[in-house]
Amino acid sequence: MMTMFHRKSFLRSATILAIVGVTLLSGCTTKDSNIDGTGENKPTVQEDSQEIIMADFNALLESDPKADAVIAFMDKNISNVSKENASVMVTKLEEVQKSGLSALEEKYFNGETIQSKMGEIYRSEFDLDKIEETQDEELKKLLVETSDSGYKVETAEGSFFPVINYEFYKKYSSYVSEDMKDYIDIMSVESNHVPVKDAALIIGWDEMITRALAQEKFAENHKNSVKASEIGELQKRYLTFMLYGANNTPLFSYDSKVMVPDAKAAYLNALKSGGDSALMQKLGEYMDILSKTNYKLSDEAEKFRKDAVESKTL
């Protein structure tokens, strides 16, 4: 039996086809026709078709779908809508993934079965591409669901859990607006290589600055983006890393309070490369303060970094 969702889609499609057929039979010769000079009336058909696609997409969202259903719809239709509408689709997919993450995560921690099975099979970096090597059917079903829904598996403190796989989004990059494309690029870097694991930085100090500069560039170029606030939160996180480090990878030695040599070298090298970004200016001020005490944490430096993070400014 045809569902209400598909019945509406069918009726709308049939109406459009009927209108196009009548127009063709009439010769399309009136001044109100949308012939584009090539003898075709594609603009009208494309606009109407796009309205149908977005109406169906919104109807799908109202049905409280899982991420894999949204992905299937997007894979089929995203190439037939504008960059703005494609960006809306990506944003909505992300919302669906975020709202469904806790339910999927529960499946990973429902008892100790899944965790123990994954611990036995995967003793190092987890790779979803190796699903077919998994012999356990229960585990394989969960991993397929994870992959098909646009998630990946992360590990921390001996546990396995799903996170959004932003690398998965790159297949949509050519269809979306420039700000959304840049957002996908930034977030895919984050999901491919998380900056912190088990309260320790697992990227280099130089990589930290590179990522922070990319985030700053996004903020400057896309002030009105729907993703501006999310990138802003990411900037604040990286500013904290840059000025404090992490609990198990502090910027200053817990004993001597002296700046970690690798961080000092990376920061001074970044400053040598120049650039008048707000990030580099702030880093320069910080290093100038620290140079007064031979890069040992001082009250002045402590106040500087506390004020910088609390004010959310670079």
Q: Which helix (H) or strand (E) holds 155?
A: strand 151-156
Burial label, 302 (beta-carbon count in 10 A; 0-12, 13-18, 19+): middle
Please report, for the chain, the start and end positions of each structural domain, with discontinuous segments joined by +.
45-165, 195-310
Helices 137-148, 67-77: inter-axial angle, 10-degree rounding? 50
6, pLDDT greater than 70: no
Do residues 170 and 186 make contact, with C-beta atoms less than 8 angstroms apart? no
More confident residue, 95 or 18: 95
More confident residue, 42 or 46: 46
| Percentage above 90 pLDDT, the chain | 69
pLDDT of 137: 86
Can you tell me the distance from the alpha carbon of 232 to that of 245, in angstroms, rounded to the nearest whole number?
Answer: 19
Query: In this structure, which long-range contacts are made by residues 65-68, counting pairs with CB atoms below 8 Å and at least 24 apart in sequence?
Result: 65/96, 66/96, 66/100, 66/149, 67/93, 67/96, 67/97, 67/100, 67/149, 67/150, 67/151, 68/145, 68/148, 68/149, 68/150
pLDDT band of 302, cuts 50, 70, 90: very high
Q: Highest mean pLDDT: which of 106-115, 118-127, 200-209?
A: 200-209
40, pLDDT greater than 60: no
More confident residue, 99 or 46: 99
Helices 83-108, 137-148: inter-axial angle, 10-degree rounding? 160
* Residues in contact with 131: Cβ distance below 8 Å, sequence separation at least 6, in sequence order: 140, 143, 144, 147
Q: What dihedral angle (degrees, nearest 10) is formed by the CA atoms of 54, 151, 63, 47? A: 0
pTM score above 0.95? no
Sign of the C-alpha dihedral computed for residues 156, 162, 164 and 167 taken in this order: positive
| Percentage above 70 pLDDT, the chain | 81
How confident is the model over 98-113, as a mean pLDDT? 91
Q: What is the CA radius of gyration of the chain?
A: 26
pLDDT of 30: 35
Any idea which of 4-13, 43-52, 214-223, 226-235 has the lowest mean pLDDT? 4-13
Do residues 166 and 194 make contact, with C-beta atoms less than 8 angstroms apart? no
More confident residue, 93 or 34: 93
Q: Highest mean pLDDT: which of 113-122, 231-240, 268-277?
A: 231-240
